[in-house]
């Protein structure tokens, strides 16, 4: 297949490209490199593999239209990766999330591309009253602007399925962690320890607990489900089936850091910031029933990530 | 209260303004008059009542910001009223729905206005597998671009509640019918009979069946719920609790027309157009439990509307 991956130079995108190439697909990476990094794809370019990189923004509809003809399926992963940004800048998720997704769908409609896989998020559930939260949970009242853009993206996709006969895979990700991470709590903790190896400030009381998934488990699950399911709209939570607290993450990062004496300090309060969902547990029965077994549970994925990012970031330099 | 009503010169908006004024509020109508009509509000202007009309578009964020200070609550009703348009023009609902709602919320945030009531729609449920469909139904996969914009609007509002401490009322309307209607199946049927009094073409097989609500019942319900409920997000289906088929609507319109011989002809197929939900039945237990009793059931609201619109449109001129 010829596959266009938006955000293909990013954290999840670059791992997905690895899997797509491994299975013999040709890949067009469409990325503005605002958070994606070309060196995440360097091993493909070096080996002359069938990966082409288009450095462009999804808001540039003309360039997007130019690159769509001949594409069999779009994996739409590009988005602002910083959920917390919405508390300060309110139009980033609207533009880089909602309007970007509209542009992807419009370019697909015009080019006759019929399949889209979308990286949505468990944050569409907001503060769910049912946990673990299944895919059919309602109402969907996200509490972050990022979450609003993911819900808007899902709705646009389902509308294009209903109106223009697209086929869609919607994946609601748990917190994705792993190598090449550029954001998130583990990344933040390591940078804090790099600045001050004696103390680690944790936002909130540390009791926030969420589901995690390791990035290669996530990318592999997406590709598996796209290849094995065939409804008009296929929608799945992707997670490892358990949760891990922020307190435990802080402990693991400190353990893996090898730093002798770190004081972990909590700012207090039940959530990290306005729009942060303090408790999130994803039901992943449908994912597991499809034949996927994640390699890591939440705590395992965090320890694996802490090791990898301490190496990447260079804590001890 | 000082209340801003977007789309306040429109079909539902103008009836809501009647109710708000009757209860002693002062009202700023914000309307671009693309489908709203100043004469729907003429009776207020004549009597010197506290209604001010701002003719401006919601995409004009500067004008919106100028009019927001001092507003206690926004009733956000403005939207493209023509669901079917999305099959041909794909950016109208994005702009007049999603981006317009973002602008309303942003102007509120900047002005410190904390309450919003939103006219959402039962089309956010898409082709629901549970009928009558309750408010907690999921997943929300609308099949029209209009539905996508309503779902996006709900998500933006819940994000502003979660991030900037707004309070919200989300109303998912059944098909709203009544006096001053400017769109919809009854309106279309009367115009078709005006063009040709011998035959009435019906899109689909006529078995499409949906919930209806009379416009004053709808406006009264919104105001009642805003005055009597106080959660962070209050969300209600608004409908009359039953359904009426398109076939029956055609028969009622023909009966009320008084035309002696009309041949009703069906184009066939289960839905009127791509993106049309053929079967929709709204659960309205929560609305009724709040103390609201609609004046009309679905068929009654349709007969009432047929009479009123035949008079307004002037079928026999």
What CATH code is assigned to B2-176+213-238? 3.40.50.720
- Within chain A, all domains assigned CATH 3.40.50.720 are found at 2-176+214-238
What was the pLDDT predicted at B317?
61
The third-level CATH classification (topology) of the domain covering B179-210+242-282+295-313 is UDP-galactose 4-epimerase; domain 1 (3.90.25)
pLDDT in tens, B205-214: 999 999 999 9
Identify whether the C-beta of residue B252 lies closer than 8 Å to the C-beta of residue B187: no
Residues of A with CB under 8 A from a CB of B: 86-87, 90-91, 94, 98-99, 102, 105-106, 109, 124, 126-127, 135-145, 147-149, 151-152, 154-156, 158-159, 161-165, 233, 235, 274-275
- Among A162, A167, A275, most B C-beta atoms within 10 A, so best to mutate, is A162
What was the pLDDT predicted at B182?
86
Domain over A2-176+214-238 is classified CATH 3.40.50.720: yes
**pLDDT of B48 strictly over 80:** no
Chain pair A-B, CB pairs under 8 angstroms: 149
**Pick from A13-22, B4-13, B307-316: least confident:** B307-316
pLDDT in tens, A164-188: 999 999 999 999 999 999 889 999 9
Average pLDDT, 10 consecutive residues per value, chain A (317 residues) = 98 98 97 96 85 97 98 98 92 98 98 98 97 98 98 98 98 97 92 96 94 97 98 98 96 95 94 90 97 95 96 81
Pick the CATH number of A178-210+242-313 from 3.90.25.10, 3.40.225.10, 3.40.50.720, 3.30.1360.150: 3.90.25.10
**Would residue A146 show up in a list of annotated catalytic residues for this protein?**
yes
Kindly report the pTM of this predicted structure: 0.97
Task: Name every residue whose Cβ is closer than 8 Å to that of residue A74 and which is 6 or more positions away in sequence.
Answer: A3, A4, A5, A6, A68, A104, A108, A113, A115, A116, A117
- pLDDT above 90 covers a percentage of chain B that reads 93
What was the pLDDT predicted at A198?
96
Q: Which of A127, A140, A156 has the CB atom closest to B140's CB atom?
A: A140
Contact yes or no for B163 and A154 at CB 8 A: no
- Within chain B, all domains assigned CATH 3.40.50.720 are found at 2-176+213-238
- Within chain B, all domains assigned CATH 3.90.25.10 are found at 179-210+242-282+295-313
Closest B-chain CA to A152 = B152
Compute the distance between CA of residue A312 and CA of residue A39 in angstroms, rounded to an integer: 13
What was the pLDDT predicted at A317?
60
Identify whether the C-beta of residue A15 lies closer than 8 Å to the C-beta of residue A180: yes
Cβ contacts (< 8 Å) between A158 and chain B: which residues? 126, 141-143, 148
- Among A95, A152, A274, most B C-beta atoms within 10 A, so best to mutate, is A152
What was the pLDDT predicted at B273?
87
pLDDT in tens, B148-172: 999 999 999 999 999 999 999 999 9
User: Mean pLDDT across the stretch B221-241?
Assistant: 97
Catalytic residue, candidates B30, B125, B137, B146: B146
pLDDT in tens, B239-249: 999 999 999 99
């Amino acid at each position: 297949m010829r596959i266009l991956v938006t955000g293909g130079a990013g954290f999840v995108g670059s791992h997905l490209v690895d899997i797509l190439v491994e299975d013999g697909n040709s890949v067009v990476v469409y990325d503005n490199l605002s958070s994606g990094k070309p060196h995440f794809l360097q091993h493909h370019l070096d080996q002359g593999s069938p990966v082409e990189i288009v450095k462009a923004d999804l808001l540039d509809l003309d360039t997007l239209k130019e690159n769509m003809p001949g594409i069999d399926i779009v994996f739409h992963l590009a988005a602002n990766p910083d959920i917390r940004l919405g508390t300060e800048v309110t139009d980033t998720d609207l533009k880089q999330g909602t309007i970007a997704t509209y542009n992807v769908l419009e370019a697909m409609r015009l080019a006759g591309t019929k399949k889209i896989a979308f990286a949505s998020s468990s944050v569409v559930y907001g503060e769910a009253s049912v946990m673990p939260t299944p895919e059919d949970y309602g109402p969907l009242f996200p509490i972050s602007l990022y979450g609003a853009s993911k819900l808007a993206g899902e709705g646009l996709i389902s509308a294009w399925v209903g109106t223009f006969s697209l086929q869609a895979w919607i994946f609601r990700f748990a917190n994705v962690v792993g190598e090449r991470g550029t954001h998130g709590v583990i990344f933040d903790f390591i940078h804090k320890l790099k600045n001050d190896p004696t103390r680690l400030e944790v936002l909130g009381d540390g009791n926030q607990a969420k589901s995690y998934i390791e990035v290669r488990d996530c990318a592999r699950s997406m590709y598996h489900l796209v290849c094995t399911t065939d409804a008009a709209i296929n929608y799945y939570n992707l997670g490892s089936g358990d949760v891990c607290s922020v307190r435990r993450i802080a402990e693991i990062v400190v353990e893996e850091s090898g730093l002798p004496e770190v004081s972990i300090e909590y700012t207090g309060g039940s959530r990290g910031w306005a729009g942060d969902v303090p408790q999130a547990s994803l039901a992943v029965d449908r994912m597991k029933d499809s034949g996927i077994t994640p390699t890591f549970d939440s705590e395992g994925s965090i320890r694996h990530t802490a090791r990898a990012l301490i190496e990447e970031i260079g804590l001890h330099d």
